[in-house]
Amino acid sequence: MDQNETQPITFTELQGNALGSTWCVKVLTKQIFKEDELRNDVIQKIENAEKIFSHWRPDSELYQFNASENTLPFPSNQDLYNLLKHAEWIHQKSQGAFDPTLGSVVNLWGFGPPGHSRSTIPTDLQIEEALKQTGMQNIELLPNRIVRKKTPGIQLDLSGSAKGEIIDQVCRLLDRWNFKNYLVEIGGEVRAYGKGRKGSGWVVGVENGSRQPDTLVSVPLRNYAVATSGTYRLNKPNPQSSRKASHLIDPRTGYPIDNTLVAVNAFAPTARDADAWATALMILGLKDGMKKAEELDIVARFCESKKEKIIISYSSAYRRLFLSENQFK
């Protein structure tokens, strides 16, 4: 008999800091393993990923690509190349709502790594000029992992999908450890595998954009991921508008989104997809976002602010997955 078969199921929880936020790994298993070795593996995986995808760290590959103000071929890491290919696909499917080339505009609004004041509100002319340094058509993804700028000043910002990608990488690490029942969370985004504690999946709380602590809604995740994008997470006063300026910039206008949504919860088999679609659907707004979710059968929960109340709308796929048995609403 396998020694593991006679072992009781143990619960292990590991935590740390990364990506300007926190990470958490939970594992249920009968396996005997060294917790410190697992912790070190997870920390190393996240650290290595940050050195590729961060547009804040000067030692990262993405930062160095952004700093190269030329149109020379740039030999990229396979992971960076793959994430850019994924971003290109989401960009196309979202009709341009998801756009990783928006770095110049994000920086201009003070939400990026350069030393712009967070209180700065750019002028219309500045936004118009910054938009000239954007557009997926200005990035070439060539064979052999080569990336090339067509416009020297273009700046990539992968914050709309990098966190999800890193979660997926940690999940693949746990798969190599042969774990069958685990949860990975970074900065509120979650991917879970296996039955969880009670057999129906890992029960996680999803946000709805309200500042009230008791408004989390519980859903069971089994071999699935969820990500939340919201205007409440990062914003600043905007004297030119009655609403605060969100860090979520509409790539089609260069301005912070100005729709009625305060949050979108997007679900997908991978955290990378969930992360990207949460961003894209927020930018599209309730009407167009719901239309896109129905078109692509995306599991999504839209949180709209109306008269200081949060109104929830569900895609058909969400209703089918989570509301059919009226267990979780």
Please state the domain count of the chain.
1
State residue 307's pLDDT score.
Answer: 79
* C-alpha–C-alpha distance, residues 299 and 266, integer Å: 6
Within a domain: 134 = yes
The whole-model pTM stands at 0.92
pLDDT string in tens for the chain (329-residue length): 355 566 789 999 999 998 788 999 999 999 999 999 999 999 999 999 999 999 889 999 999 999 998 999 999 999 999 999 999 999 999 999 999 999 999 999 888 776 555 667 889 999 999 999 999 999 999 999 999 999 999 999 999 999 999 999 999 999 999 999 999 999 999 999 999 998 989 999 998 876 655 567 899 999 999 999 987 655 545 545 555 557 899 999 999 988 889 999 999 999 999 999 999 999 999 999 999 999 999 999 999 988 778 899 999 999 999 987 544 44
Quote the domain boundaries for residue 103: 62-149
State residue 117's pLDDT score.
Answer: 57
Within a domain: 131 = yes
Within a domain: 227 = no
Beta carbons of 59 and 67 less than 8 angstroms apart: no
State residue 325's pLDDT score.
Answer: 53
84: left (phi over 0), alpha (psi -120 to 50) or beta: alpha
Structure token digits, residue 149: 């700028």
For 145-177, give one letter per residue: b (16+ CB within 10 A) or e. bebebebeebbbbbbbbbbbbbbbbbbebbeee
Closest CA to 162 of 43, 67, 79, 221: 79
Within a domain: 297 = no
Within a domain: 191 = no
Closest CA to 101 of 241, 270, 252: 252
Which spans in 218-270 are helix H?
none
State residue 153's pLDDT score.
Answer: 93
Within a domain: 70 = yes
Within a domain: 20 = no
* C-alpha–C-alpha distance, residues 214 and 195, integer Å: 25
Q: Which residue, chain included where needed, has tokens 């067509």?
A: 150
Within a domain: 67 = yes
**Full DSSP string of 47-89:** HHHHHHH-SS-TTSHHHHHHH--S-S-EE--HHHHHHHHHHHH
Beta carbons of 322 and 224 less than 8 angstroms apart: no
CATH, residue 69: 1.10.3980.10
Secondary structure (3-state) at 232: coil
Amino acid present at 89 = W
Beta carbons of 222 and 212 less than 8 angstroms apart: no
* C-alpha–C-alpha distance, residues 243 and 168, integer Å: 35
